[in-house]
Every structure is written in structure tokens, then in C-alpha cells.
């Protein structure tokens, strides 16, 4: 067991939409502008918030997920990714106590804060309330044992802040670390999976610079750094990974396919793989001499015409599939392997077509169990995953059974021969054997 000092703090919230992403981005940019080396993390499975973090701090943000990875792996990854930094800033997920599902707080911001010893700052949206804000904060402080050290008030004007601060500190004894006023020039748009991606906002740099300037005036950054610096020492176990093969794996990465856990990609590299990034919308064929293919999630539905008209790439992927190249695809990548999306022709490696809907289909953490032997899971073996999508396909069967904590089950995925494709997203650090098997399959194909 290794014990080390990691300066760390969590920016959590009372609920989704309270402003924690805005506050987190403001703090990240302000700290970076001060010349600090900052590591950024996001609680839970979300892909989009880490993209914003990454753009701001100019290095990869990471996910902390106890369900997808397990606590041992999550602790190791947090320590590894916090090395050689001045402070680690962790953005929470949903409401502070909201966990995997049902009435459990498992894998919530509260759970991660407690288990990883991360002091928390609670972001509270004060719009439409005054003294009642103190009552709400008291509920969060008293609900369960927690590490909340301060609060930041969102949607508060400068002339009202003094009243809020005095009321909260006098009644509750909790420190108020500042406020964020509403600033229309810094608003970030959203779509069905949450925020729009960072790459889609041409004015992101200006927006985050504005947020940072506001934070320097309205948030006590020195107090936040003091809270982070006083976090308890951190224990973790170093995890060694077998180096398997120097296979070359093509990874789709562009605006249509951009949902990846950076730690998962780096795990493949740690096992010896060389990742070759390409764009299914822009490149006309797969790079030669690749031994495997990964198609991540994203927003292929926004680029249907470009994907459908790129016959060179479609034919290249189909040829690789026919030759037996191992293919791993998640969500948007799964859709791209189908016959069509909204009647636009895709690679047609999988027979069903996909349609976008206005309704969220399946959502939440699941445990996947293989119904038969597949490329990455043998019959009866399980993997942790997270599912979130608005599309559906016209198949009522699947290679895997997905089960939620509530007991609800459904069939998903197409996992036959050299293809392992599914809606749910998998973190390879929580399912290391799957990553190892994929590389071994690529090695077999290479030979």
C-alpha cells in the first residue's frame, strides 16, 4: 500500500442543473491562469464534462467511477493521474447523494468523496429563494456523514451575496466560499446527452476566460486551495498490467465518435498496443497494417450524410470485417455498424437498422452477462457498464443480458465471431480481462 499527499477538492452540487459544471470550469481556468498545474476529474460515467475540463487545462480530464472500475482501480487511477500536479479538482455528478439507482448512494458524489477522502464544496442554485437556501444546505449537511467543507452560491447578485453569506454562516457554521452571478455571455448550450461538446463551441476560450475572471472576483480561491491542501493523505495500491503485444489498433476519433475513457485507451497502450486514430467522416479508408478496430460512442446522428457518403471508409471497414479483424464498438459505433441510421446507409455489418427517437431508451448502470461465448466475454461472464441513448434498433434480441440494480433486464448487443458491439459503454479498467482479450484477438489476426 502506498501513502502519499494529494491536494484535492470536489465541486459537487445539490442537483443536476445547479451550475456545478460552470463553477468547476471557472475554478479550473482561474487556477490554471494562476500558473498552477491542475488535474481534473469527473465523478461518474459522463464523457462531455471531461471534454470541457480537458480544453480548459490543456491536458486530459479523467473519470472516477466506483461502479464501472471498482474502488481499488479507481483509487490507483486517481493517484496516478494526480502525479506531478498542484491540485486535483473533481467535478461531482447529479445531486450530491444520488447514486447508482433506487435508494442507494453508491457511486454518488457523496460516496466518492467519502471513500477517496475528497473534501467537497457544495454548489447551490439560489434562484427564486433567500433564507430557504440555508434550510436546503442544512438538509445536505445533516442527511448523512459527509465531507462538505464549504458552499458556493450560484445565480446570486453582488448586492444580495452579503445577506446569503451572513445567513448561512451564522445559522449553519459552514463556510461560504463565494458566489457566481448569472452571466449570459458565458452560457454553454446543451442537447440530448447533456452539454454540447467542447469542440463545437468556437467561443469556448472566451467564455472560460470570462468565467475565470468572474471567479477571481467572486470565489475565494485561496480558501478552496486551503481546503484541498488539508485533505488527508491518500492510500492506494499500484496495479501492474501485463504487456501483451504491440498490435496496431485503429480508433475512430472525430466529432462523430468522441466518447472514450482516456484511461481505457491508455490501458490498451500499457498492454503494448499502438493506437492509430482516424476519422470515419473525413478519411477515405482505414490505415494499412492495423490489427483491430475500435468505434466509440458519440453523435453519428449529426453526421449521417457525411458518414453515409463516405463509401471508401464503409468499404474499407467491411473488408476488414470480412477478413476477420476484431471490431469493438460502443453506442454510436454500434449504430455505425448497422444497416442504417434514420434510413442513411451505414456499414451494414449488423443487420438491424437504427432510428433516433425523442425518448431516452435505456439509461443507467448495468451489469452485462454473456448469453453465449463471445470475443471478449465467455458464456455466463459479466461486465460492468453504463447505457444512455435515444436511438433504438429494430432487433428484439441481443448477445448480452443487461441488468439494472432495480432488477430490470433487457437484451442488448451484437457479439458474434470477430465483432463485439453494444449500446452500453464499458470502462476497461473495471474489466481488464476484456481489454487483454481484445489485444490477444488482434494479435491472432495479425499473425
CATH number of 320's domain: 3.40.50.880
Query: Considering the domain boundaries, does residue 254 fall inside one?
Result: yes
Predicted local confidence at residue 191, as pLDDT: 43
Predicted local confidence at residue 362, as pLDDT: 86
CATH number of 46's domain: 3.40.50.300
> Is 331 a known active-site residue?
yes
Predicted local confidence at residue 269, as pLDDT: 99
Domain enclosing residue 297, as ranges: 248-446
Predicted local confidence at residue 192, as pLDDT: 46
Query: Considering the domain boundaries, does residue 274 fall inside one?
Result: yes
State whether 229 and 299 are in the same domain: no
State whether 171 and 287 are in the same domain: no
Out of 189, 216, 236, pick the residue that ends a domain.
Answer: 236
> Which residue in 324, 328, 200 sits closest to 252, CA to CA?
328
State whether 208 and 324 are in the same domain: no
Among 31-35, 126-130, 360-364, 416-420, which is the least confidently predicted range? 360-364
- Kindly report the average pLDDT of the chain as a whole number: 95
Residue pLDDT, tens place only, 403-414 = 999 899 999 999
Tell me the chain's radius of gyration from C-alpha atoms: 23
State whether 230 and 360 are in the same domain: no
Catalytic residue chosen out of the listed positions 69, 126, 258, 331? 331
* Residue 111 φ/ψ region, left for φ over 0, alpha for ψ in the -120 to 50 degree band, beta for the rest: alpha
Query: Considering the domain boundaries, does residue 242 fall inside one?
Result: no
Largest CA distance in the chain: 71
Predicted local confidence at residue 199, as pLDDT: 65
State whether 435 and 365 are in the same domain: yes
Q: How many domains does the chain have?
A: 2
Query: Considering the domain boundaries, does residue 243 fall inside one?
Result: no
Residue 301 confidence class, pLDDT cut points 50, 70, 90: very high
Predicted local confidence at residue 19, as pLDDT: 94
State whether 167 and 272 are in the same domain: no
pLDDT of 193 over the 60 cut: no
Predicted local confidence at residue 198, as pLDDT: 63
User: Per this entry, what is the length of the chain?
Assistant: 447
Q: How many CB atoms lie within 10 A of CB 162?
A: 9
State whether 57 and 157 are in the same domain: yes
pLDDT: which is higher, 202 or 308: 308
Query: Considering the domain boundaries, does residue 200 fall inside one?
Result: yes
Kindly give, in sequence order, each residue whose CB lies less than 8 Å from that of residue 12, ignoring residues fewer than 6 positions away.
20, 92, 96, 109, 110, 113, 120, 121, 122, 123, 148
Predicted local confidence at residue 196, as pLDDT: 60
Kindly give, in sequence order, each residue whose CB lies less than 8 Å from that of residue 34, ignoring residues fewer than 6 positions away.
221
pTM over 0.85: yes
For the four alpha carbons of 150, 156, 158 and 159, in that order, the dihedral sign comes to negative
Predicted local confidence at residue 115, as pLDDT: 98
Residue 101 confidence class, pLDDT cut points 50, 70, 90: confident
Query: Considering the domain boundaries, does residue 360 fall inside one?
Result: yes
Out of 178, 203, 236, pick the residue that ends a domain.
Answer: 236
Give me the DSSP letters along 326-367. Answer: -EEEETHHHHHTSSEETTEE---SSS--EEE-SS--SEEEEE
Amino acid at each position: 500500500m502506498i501513502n502519499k499527499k494529494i491536494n484535492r477538492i470536489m465541486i459537487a452540487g445539490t442537483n443536476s442543473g445547479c451550475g456545478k459544471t460552470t463553477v468547476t470550469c471557472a475554478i479550473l481556468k482561474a487556477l490554471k491562469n494562476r500558473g498552477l498545474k491542475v488535474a481534473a476529474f469527473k465523478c461518474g460515467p459522463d464523457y462531455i464534462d471531461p471534454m470541457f475540463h480537458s480544453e480548459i487545462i490543456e491536458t486530459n480530464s479523467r473519470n472516477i467511477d466506483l461502479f464501472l472500475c471498482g474502488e481499488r482501480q479507481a483509487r490507483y487511477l486517481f493517484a496516478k493521474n494526480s502525479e506531478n500536479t498542484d491540485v486535483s479538482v473533481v467535478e461531482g455528478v447529479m445531486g450530491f447523494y444520488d447514486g447508482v439507482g433506487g435508494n442507494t448512494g453508491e457511486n454518488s458524489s457523496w460516496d466518492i468523496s467519502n471513500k477517496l477522502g475528497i473534501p467537497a464544496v457544495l454548489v447551490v442554485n439560489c434562484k427564486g429563494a433567500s433564507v430557504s437556501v440555508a434550510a436546503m444546505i442544512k438538509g445536505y449537511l445533516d442527511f448523512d456523514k459527509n465531507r462538505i467543507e464549504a458552499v458556493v452560491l450560484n445565480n446570486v447578485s453582488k448586492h444580495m451575496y452579503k445577506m446569503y453569506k451572513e445567513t448561512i454562516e451564522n445559522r449553519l457554521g459552514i463556510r461560504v466560499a463565494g458566489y457566481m452571478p448569472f452571466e449570459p455571455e458565458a452560457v454553454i448550450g446543451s442537447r440530448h446527452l447533456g452539454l454540447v461538446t467542447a469542440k463545437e463551441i468556437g467561443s469556448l476560450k472566451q467564455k472560460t476566460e470570462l468565467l475565470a475572471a468572474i471567479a477571481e472576483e467572486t470565489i475565494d480561491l485561496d480558501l478552496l486551495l486551503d481546503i484541498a491542501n488539508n485533505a488527508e493523505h491518500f492510500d492506494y495500491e499500484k496495479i501492474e498490467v501485463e504487456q501483451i503485444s504491440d498490435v496496431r489498433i485503429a480508433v475512430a476519433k472525430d466529432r462523430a465518435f468522441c466518447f472514450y475513457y482516456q484511461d481505457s485507451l491508455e490501458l490498451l497502450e500499457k498492454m503494448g498496443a499502438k493506437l492509430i486514430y482516424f476519422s470515419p467522416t473525413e478519411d477515405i479508408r482505414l490505415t494499412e497494417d492495423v490489427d483491430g478496430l475500435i468505434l466509440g460512442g458519440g453523435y453519428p446522428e449529426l453526421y449521417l450524410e457525411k458518414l453515409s457518403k463516405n463509401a471508401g471508409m464503409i468499404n474499407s471497414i467491411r473488408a476488414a470485417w470480412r477478413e476477420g479483424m476484431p471490431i469493438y464498438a460502443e453506442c454510436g459505433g454500434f449504430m455505425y455498424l448497422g444497416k442504417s441510421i434514420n434510413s442513411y446507409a451505414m456499414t451494414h455489418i449488423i443487420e438491424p437498422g437504427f432510428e433516433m427517437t425523442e425518448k431516452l431508451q435505456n439509461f443507467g448502470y448495468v451489469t452485462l452477462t454473456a448469453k453465449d461465448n463471445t470475443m471478449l466475454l465467455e458464456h455466463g461472464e459479466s461486465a460492468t457498464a453504463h447505457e444512455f441513448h435515444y436511438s433504438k434498433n429494430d432487433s428484439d434480441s441481443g448477445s448480452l443480458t443487461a441488468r439494472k440494480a432495480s432488477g430490470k433486464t433487457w437484451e442488448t448487443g451484437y457479439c458474434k465471431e470477430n465483432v463485439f458491439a453494444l449500446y452500453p459503454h464499458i470502462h476497461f479498467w473495471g474489466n481488464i480481462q476484456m481489454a487483454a482479450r481484445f489485444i490477444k484477438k488482434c494479435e491472432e489476426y495479425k499473425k
